[in-house]
Structure 1
Amino acid sequence: MEATRPLDLESVRSRFPALDRGTVFLDNGGGSQIVEPVLDRIRDYLVTSNVQLGASYAASRLASDRVAAAHRAVAVLVNATAPEEIVMGPSTTVLFRTLAESLGRTIQPGDEVVVTTGDHEANIAPWIALERFGASVRHWRVDPRTGELDPEDLGPLLGPRTRLVAMTHTSNVLGSINPIRDVADRVHACGAWLCVDGVGFAPHRAVDVRALGVDFYAFSFYKTFGPHHAVLYGRSELLRALPGLGFFFVDEADVPYKFQPGNVNYELSYGVMGVLDYLQEAGGLECGDRDDGGYDRAALERAFDRFARHEEALAGRLLDFLTAKEGVRVIGSPSPDRSRRVAIVSFTVDGRRSEEIVHAVDAHDIGIRHGHFYSARLVEAL
């Protein structure tokens, strides 16, 4: 069947110019290499439409059309209902700060937000900062043995004053996939919103915000084969209701613009469409660039299904090797099961400092990393 056809690895590798250098890039929790269609689109934008949006002359109309098409393309990528639900910015960290600043203007003393000890700090610190508006912050703690979040532990933290729960879809340390739909149903049952960090999930699986039932979902494209650019999905009715961060003359109904102060990086927005060019090709649809942003969702899903199957096999080989070694501890699930984890693997070795292991691997031109990866609370809990 088309969906189970294996990846054409030669074709995939040919789309990443950096792979010609011989370095083995295994620092996939920290960032990905960029695909060639992204580079092509960025250059094309800067050469042919590097002007301000909104004017009537041809180059400006082209620039406006391209940025609008990028929003449409990303809406397809995450299965949003409309491009107006797509807010772009320089990073997931900045976009969560933007969202928290907006929500903070609606916080009343005694309102509650829930954060986890398993997240990247980008999805913790902005919500803790809401304490200055009178919010009370509750902590959903990971199991110190496994690092996992148990949805049953969330129940006692929810109540009639809960405004928002912030959590990660996939841990950037463990690689584990959290049951977002289950959590969303629990959160919505008490009238709260769910904000999900998808940075660790989006490079490995197709994001479907409607199936997940999330209210907000963000990830960065530099970890998803693209440039240093990011997206925040928000349900349209919530984005319209929240106060914007634009100038006084920016209409509150102007979504997503009111959440993009100073506007977005135009060339990187257009460049992001190159990620979808690549995904559509990997999904077996040979139709070239889609300048209107109207990509085929089914082809994108096929691409990610092929990625997941290939990564599961590779992760299985690595996990089998590590678990067979005396003194090696895999942090997180030792199973490569693609329904439970992505191919992000962390481990420790008894009697060896992690830094020593990384430096030994460096000598072979293989890129890995040690540290807490900005999930410091998770590493401390473990």
Structure 2
Amino acid sequence: MTALPLDPARIRAAFPAFAEPSLEGQAFFENAGGSYTALQVLTRLEGFYRRTKVQPYGVYPASIAAGEAMDLAFERIAAAINVTADWIHFGPSTSANTYVLGQAFGEWLKAGDAIVVTNQDHEANTGAWRRLAAKGIEVREWRVDAQTGRLDIAGLEALLDQKVRLVAAPHCSNIAGEINPVAGIAARARAVGAVTVIDGVSYAPHGPPDLASLGADIYFFSAYKVYGPQQGIMAIRPSLAAQLPNQGHFFNDDKLRCRLTPAGPDHAQIAACAGIADYLEFVAEVAGEAVDGATPFRRAHAAMRAQEMALAEPLFAFLRARTDLRIIGPTDAAIRAPTVSLALDKPGAQVAKRLVRHGIMASGGHFYAYRLLEAMGIDPAHGVLRVSFTHYTTPAEIERLIVALEAELA
């Protein structure tokens, strides 16, 4: 295995779950469904509940402190993904956030306008947009290759013209795993005057994205998959957010944060999200001189990606040698996230249940990428086995997974 830039022991010390007796002896390979929570996040969450669990932005000290803790989260998350704080919107979940966005765009777009969606997406970033067809919006589908699950950029180019007002696509699929060329997607959409909406839920856990270089107008992800609390985070270009119809209370029309989050999200969890940035800075500190980057967040991204690529090498070597399974997506770890889905003779959920006896926590199903599995000729009810890991996974756990798969696929 390639040398690891991050010391697993130091990294895992930042996650109380790894010291939890009830989880001892179990290797966690369901990170695509939600990561363990970093100590930095838990510390901020507990502190908010202990000291400032009051209505924020008031006139008394505890209320002022609560508002300041929330404001800090907006600033810290913005810094982590290289935008300004006025880009950031917190909501109860990514699915709820995209639903609200769909409602807003439904009022903003006009009958006869066109949008582009993919069949590679999690349903949260395709279903909300497809519903706009009922309002007279033309929905065009950018389709994956049925064998590889890949989105070819040429397929997008064939769909774009002056009628297209929005392009929705994933940064990477939660099943196929391949990292899509977001900067190229955004540039092509911008050339025809379209807005780009990128689902980063399956990418963000593997390193904070640099939105300034990607160029997307909207980028969203789930905090609970990025070592944080149960929140959905949206980054929206402020000029676009100001143009979209207000989805909140009429008297908050001039408050950018309130216009696209009609249900006030949990104050404590917003404040705790500052701990995500704290943790990423810790990752950069652990990496030290092992990786390059202009900021701690860029170094954290580089270290996390390098760590995961090294961990993936032996797993893909094992999987490529087998003829009794179908690997969804590429086997080159440099162009994908370490979310690995396998099509097997047995239902994915059934194999995941058998892996439990080996101390492997994985999962099976369609993972809300129903359309992708259908496009690839896989019955969504049969599903795939998905094993997903992050930079805190250890080489020993990868070896344990390989041994378990070998035993259960024999």
- After TM superposition, the score normalised by the length of structure 2 is 0.86
Q: Which runs of 4+ in 1 moved over 4 A?
A: none
Alignment correspondent of 2:304:
307
Deviation, 1:297, is 7.2
1:75 to 55, 73, 78: 78
Q: How does 1:120-199 map to 2 (within 5 A)?
A: 120-199=122-201
Output the CA distance in 1 between the equivalents of 2:325 and 2:265. Answer: 45
Alignment of 1:9-158 (within 5 A): 9-20=8-19, 21-22=23-24, 23-80=26-83, 82-158=84-160
CA distance in 2, matches of 1:371, 1:321: 22
Contact 1:285 1:299 in 2 (8 A): no
Question: How far, CA to CA, are the matches of 1:262 and 1:325 in structure 2?
Answer: 49
SS at match of 1:29: helix
CA shift for structure 1 position 327: 1.5
Please state how far the C-alpha of 1:5 moved relative to its aligned partner.
8.0
Letter of the structure 2 residue corresponding to residue 275 of structure 1: I
User: Which protein has the bigger helix share?
Assistant: 2
User: How far is the alpha carbon of 1:242 from its aligned partner?
Assistant: 1.1
Paired residues in the alignment total 365
Q: How many angstroms apart in 1 are the aligned matches of 2:273 and 2:54?
A: 18
Q: What is the root-mean-square deviation in Å for CA atoms of aligned residues? A: 1.7
**Alpha-carbon distance in structure 2 between the residues aligned to 1:262 and 1:135:** 27
Stretches of structure 1 that go unaligned for 5 or more consecutive residues are 287-295
The C-alpha deviation readout for 1:157-204, integer Å capped at 9, x for no partner, is 112121101000011101100001111111111100000000011010
Task: Check whether the contact 2:186–2:214 (CA below 8 A) recurs between aligned residues.
Answer: yes
Residue 276 (structure 2) pairs with residue 275 (structure 1): yes
Structure 2 Cα separation of the partners of residues 38 and 161 of structure 1:
44
Counterpart for residue 331 of structure 1: 328
Code of the residue aligned with 1:302 in structure 2: it is R
8 Å contact kept, 1:336–1:343: yes
Contact 2:52 2:66 in 1 (8 A): yes
Would you say the 8 A contact 2:91–2:263 is kept in 1? no
- Alpha-carbon separation, structure 2, partners of 1:6 and 1:194: 34
**Letter in structure 2 aligned against 1:203:** P
Query: 2-side partners of 1:50 and 1:297: how far apart?
Result: 37
When normalised by structure 1's length, the TM-score is 0.92
- The percentage of counterpart residues that share the same residue type is 35
Measured after TM superposition, the shift of residue 271 of structure 1 is 0.8
Amino acid at match of 1:322: L
Note the C-alpha offset of 1:260.
2.0
* Letter aligned with residue 36 of structure 1: L
Unaligned runs of 5+ in 2: 288-292, 377-410
CA distance in 2, matches of 1:167, 1:297: 28
